Structure 1
Amino acid sequence: MMKKLGLATALLLAMTGAQAYQFEVQGQSEFIDNTVNEQNFTGAVQGTYYFKNVDSTKGPLAEAAFLNQASNFSLAYNYGEYDENGLDIVSHTYGAKAEAYIPTKFVPAYASASYSHTINDSKNALETDDQGDRYALELGALVAPNFLVAVGYTSVADQVSYDAFNILSNGVAKAGLESATIADDQDAITARTKYVGAIDGTNMAIGFETGLVYGESTAYALKTDLYLTPALSVGASYAETSADIANDKAWGANVNYFITPAVAVGASYVNANAEGDVRDTQTVGLNAKFRF
């Protein structure tokens, strides 16, 4: 019995202290507080398989896959409950996504393709049941070390079809802002950049991301993360849309910490300001990741 216990303990330590991984599972929940209801919530989960082992010693642990240019395939699911002025809607969003980094003679190329499907189940007669699909394609290149530039096309058959991966990356409030930007146009052009780099003379690093969505309206997003150590980061974000909606701006803050190279926890806050409107919204999120 002692030998078995010792073997199990050694295996657990080897997994949680691993410097390379091929699978990542993350979970997230957000509590939504708006003017008329403070009991709405979401829950999301994503699983990612990397086609080769990811080396987590190259820089910030949170960005190991990006720094390794790790091609991958992901599945995601998001559950949400939303009440507002008599509305009672349960929402399910499913997603699948593939990312590929392709070496070339010039610079590494990048491509991604994703599909999301949303089902909105209304629990009363104030709203009808609804569902819709969205497809997205991106092409880009790493024009400098750890600096990605990409442009894309998104087709949204129904504006309530949210991006399952946007919900997990940026929160449900910003995913809703992006959906309102595309609105009835159904087709959208996207562009984004991402950079992660070390701060000379320290073990710290900095990351920047920008995004643009051009649909029926236009939205842009900015995000930065400061990696105080490879394990600990703090970040801030801002998004704004020209769409005619009450909460057309959202700012946020986050903190993430890797307890071990394989286990991480984090928290986030988003304020989608719509002062004087029932959709004035704040969200608080908790998340966790496990790599093996």
Structure 2
Amino acid sequence: MTRYEIKSLSIGGILDQTVALVKDRFGVLLAIAAVVYVPYGLINGFVMMAKMPPRPAPPFEPAVMQQYQEAVMMAGLFTLPASLLFGLVGVPLANGAMIWAVSQSYLGEPVSFDSTWRHSLSRALPLIGTTFLYSLAMMGGFILCVIPGFLFMLWFIFYAQGVMLEGLSGSSALSRSKALMKGNMGKAFVLMLLLSIISAVIGGIGAVVPQPHVGVVLQVALQAVVVMFSAAAMTVFYFSCRCDHEDFDLMRLAAAVEKSDNDASPDRGATY
């Protein structure tokens, strides 16, 4: 039996369970995130440092700021291939592996670094394709108007959980997420707002480090921690929504009782 609370949770309950999960599985989750986020973060950070001119000092003259912005854009071109590979492939696979690790731990099942990545890679095409579809939906929503973009983002927030934990893909994963979000939109908005604030505060720590190279390394490490915490929080929230809509907690309890009864029943074919 799992030692975590599998039930409909408040925002505070979701964060409490998330902290407990991350604390218990910190090494595995950090290793999963580090495989993707650390190489990309270091490459992107150091290349940008090498190619970017010094930041202008105040007062900020328009011509100087324009030159600086153009230099930043040119520096970004050097990291564009790595950024595309990271966003289109690395992020979905790492997110899938973290979701699997959190779900297995939350449900009281054994988990390891190897098993999480094997499961994520086995779902690579659905993960990448559904992530691309989710991104298109959000982009389309924001192009039409800001509000539909936020609406789509909240509706389809569990797309990766649907792919990794229910074997869905594409529009089926998006529809499943929308169904689970019924009655939970306000909670999702507050949770995402809190996670964004946590990310901004933690991410800003590296920016104030006076030594640039140390700052890059620190920011990369903190980013890995932020993404694994966010993946854990959203997965706990996913199970909370399932408890709301499907009595998932009662289903788990009934399955555990049935298994206990079967284990306790004597084998009629045995000789005593």
**Is the TM value for this pair above 0.5?**
no
Q: Which has the higher contact order (CA 8 A, sep 6+)?
A: 2
Structure showing the higher helix proportion among its residues = 2
- The alignment's TM-score, normalised by the length of structure 2, stands at 0.31
- The alignment's TM-score, normalised by the length of structure 1, stands at 0.29
Structure showing the higher strand proportion among its residues = 1
Which of these two proteins has the greater Rg computed from alpha carbons?
2
